[in-house]
């Protein structure tokens, strides 16, 4: 039994943090589903940018859409929805077998909407309707302006993957928005079953502190923050407030570990996989990390429900002059800015590719 199967059997969903047209057409994604227990995937503008820029697999579709006048954001969402609906269909049997718990794909809103609440809600509704797939999440960032958009999207029945979360407090704000959205649906006599996941970014914590901390602390902050957040997650699931909603047919907003590829070559390539194994959670991992897990992954004890040594480790970072709260805010701000930059790069890539194809006839 390989490492991916062991992790799946331990109760954690394995999602792939990648999608390309080549991966779909070659049967690679199907193989990952069948052999590596992959039960979902996530996407973002950078992934599509690399896929479109690195080869010609999107050229025929772009050429065809240019003839109909598609360009810019409209062209991108056409291409993305083609890929993601095909992937959603591959995961559909898993989605049905797990009664909508698993088998999801995710499409990100334009990052330029990160601080636009009404614009995010409108776009989320439109994209979900266009996809016509029950197992497609719309990604909405958990920024201050994104939080009310999450609540409104959930109330409207749109499944949401909350992205850009970096701390327990940011997670709790997103979870509160989800719960409010469900409570409003119950009060309005609507079905309480609107799925959601909350994505906590992990490895960027350790990249941010780097060599500013003693060697004994390197590679430990991201997992400590995740452990602290996991405790808050488990406490919420056990709360009377949530249990009342379960009685009305609600499903818990699962916690998802994002940014789990190891960035420091001195650290284990499975640092954020082995360290974050926990039932009823998701780990969305890059292809390289997935293959490493299948090849040599060994699991230890699952995350402690109470967060284990999280507070002690975070306290040591504070002693090393790391302001964890300020860094969480900074990471979210930088993450939102990076998403916008990736989006601009993607649109520039599409414009360049479109011009090249026009000239080629």
Mean pLDDT in order along the chain per 10 residues (361 residues): 94 97 96 98 93 92 95 96 98 97 96 84 95 97 93 97 98 98 98 98 97 94 98 98 97 97 94 97 98 95 96 98 98 94 95 93 73
| Chain-centroid distance, C-alpha 209 | 23
The pLDDT assigned to 253 comes to 98
Question: Is the four-CA dihedral 232, 237, 238, 239 of positive or negative sign?
Answer: positive
Give the Cα separation of 279 and 8 in Å (integer).
9
The pLDDT assigned to 361 comes to 73
Cβ distance 158 to 130 under 8 Å?
A: no
DSSP assignment letter at 248: T
Give the Cα separation of 167 and 201 in Å (integer).
8
Q: Sketch out the chain's domains with CATH numbers.
A: 3-354 (3.20.20.70)
Known catalytic residue at 139: yes
Phi, psi of 107 (to 5 degrees): -120, 130
Catalytic one of 65, 125, 139, 227: 139
Q: Output the pTM of the full model.
A: 0.96
CA dihedral of residues 42, 169, 224, 104 (deg, nearest 10): -20
The pLDDT assigned to 1 comes to 74
């Amino acid at each position: 039994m390989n490492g991916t199967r062991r992790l799946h059997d331990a109760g954690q969903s394995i999602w792939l943090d990648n999608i390309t047209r080549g991966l779909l057409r070659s049967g690679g994604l199907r193989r990952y589903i069948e052999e590596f227990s992959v039960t979902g995937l996530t996407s973002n503008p950078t992934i599509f940018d690399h896929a479109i820029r690195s080869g010609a697999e999107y050229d025929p579709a772009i050429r065809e859409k240019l003839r109909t006048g598609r360009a810019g954001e409209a062209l991108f969402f056409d291409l993305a929805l083609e890929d993601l609906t095909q992937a959603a269909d591959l995961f559909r049997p898993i989605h049905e077998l797990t009664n909508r718990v698993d088998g999801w794909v995710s499409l990100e809103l334009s990052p330029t909407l990160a601080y636009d609440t009404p614009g995010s809600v409108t776009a989320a509704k439109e994209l979900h309707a266009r996809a016509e797939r029950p197992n497609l999440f719309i990604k909405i960032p958990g920024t201050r302006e994104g939080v009310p958009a999450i609540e409104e999207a959930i109330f409207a029945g749109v499944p949401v993957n909350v992205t850009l979360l970096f701390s327990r407090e940011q997670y709790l704000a997103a979870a509160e928005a989800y719960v409010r959205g469900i409570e409003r649906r119950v009060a309005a006599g609507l079905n309480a079953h609107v799925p959601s996941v909350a994505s906590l970014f992990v490895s960027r914590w350790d990249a941010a502190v780097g060599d500013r901390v003693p060697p004994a602390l390197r590679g430990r902050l991201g997992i400590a923050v995740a452990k602290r957040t996991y405790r808050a997650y488990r406490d919420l699931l056990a709360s009377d407030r949530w249990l009342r909603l379960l009685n009305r047919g609600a499903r818990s907003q699962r916690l998802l570990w994002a940014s789990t590829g190891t960035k420091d070559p001195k650290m284990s390539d499975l640092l954020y996989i082995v360290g974050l194994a926990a039932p009823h959670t998701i780990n969305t991992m890059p292809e390289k990390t997935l293959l490493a897990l299948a090849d040599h992954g060994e699991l230890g004890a699952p995350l402690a429900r109470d967060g284990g040594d999280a507070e002690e480790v975070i306290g040591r970072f504070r002693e090393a002059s790391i302001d964890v709260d300020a860094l969480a805010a900074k990471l979210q701000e930088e993450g939102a800015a990076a998403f916008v930059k990736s989006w601009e790069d993607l649109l520039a890539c599409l414009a360049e590719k479109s011009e090249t194809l026009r000239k080629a006839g």
